[in-house]
């Protein structure tokens, strides 16, 4: 046990909280990566469809192709929203750390304040990740419908 912590329980709580925040950051990074990869894929698919229409418009069922465009654009928008919504707490801010180091918290010891603050960060991050997961799911569903419609526009 380190000399700075009053007991092993608080030290373990801090270590676990730090591990959770790190894992949440990795999860959000994975969500952001999927969102940006899908946005790129959508751009390629939209470009291919536009090129296909220019060279062989008679190969496509117009109404179904319009549905494909709408859903691929919606998927792109959902992907951009997913990526832009990422705003996790990855640790305490500079001002907070200065106050913590100076022990300016009169109501409770620094280690209690820190572990409570980390708990709040974890809760906020959890909400942020859940919201982004919903946008990611919407992006994937609209991508699937868009691709399916594009294939159907050619097959019909």
Q: What is the pLDDT of residues 49-98, one digit of tens each?
A: 999 999 999 999 999 999 999 999 999 999 999 998 778 888 888 888 87
pLDDT of residue 136: 97
Buried b (16+ CB within 10 A) or exposed e, 94-106: eeeeeebeeeeee
Residue 1 has pLDDT above 60, yes or no: no
More confident site: 99 or 128: 128
**Helix/strand/coil percent split, the chain, to 5:** 85, 0, 15
Q: Which of 11-20, 26-35, 102-111, 143-152 has the lowest mean pLDDT?
A: 102-111
Q: 105 falls in which pLDDT band (50, 70, 90)?
A: low
pLDDT of residue 2: 57
What would the two tokens of residue 117 be?
Answer: 């603050």
Q: Are 38 and 75 in contact (CB under 8 A)?
A: yes
Q: Are 43 and 76 in contact (CB under 8 A)?
A: yes
Q: 17 falls in which pLDDT band (50, 70, 90)?
A: very high
pLDDT of residue 113: 83
pLDDT of residue 91: 81
């Amino acid at each position: 046990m380190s000399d700075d912590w009053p007991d092993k329980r608080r030290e373990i709580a801090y270590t676990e909280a730090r591990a959770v925040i790190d894992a949440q950051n990795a999860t959000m990074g994975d969500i952001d990566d999927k969102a940006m990869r899908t946005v790129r894929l959508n751009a390629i698919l939209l470009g291919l469809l536009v090129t296909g229409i220019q060279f062989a418009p008679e190969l496509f069922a117009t109404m179904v192709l319009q549905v494909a465009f709408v859903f691929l654009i919606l998927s792109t928008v959902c992907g951009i929203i997913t990526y832009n919504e990422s705003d996790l707490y990855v640790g305490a801010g500079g001002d907070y750390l200065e106050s913590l180091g100076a022990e300016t918290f009169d109501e409770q010891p620094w280690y209690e304040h820190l572990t409570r603050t980390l708990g709040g960060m974890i809760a906020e991050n959890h909400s942020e990740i859940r919201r982004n997961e919903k946008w990611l799911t919407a992006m994937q569903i609209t991508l699937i419908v868009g691709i399916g419609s594009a294939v159907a526009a050619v097959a019909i």
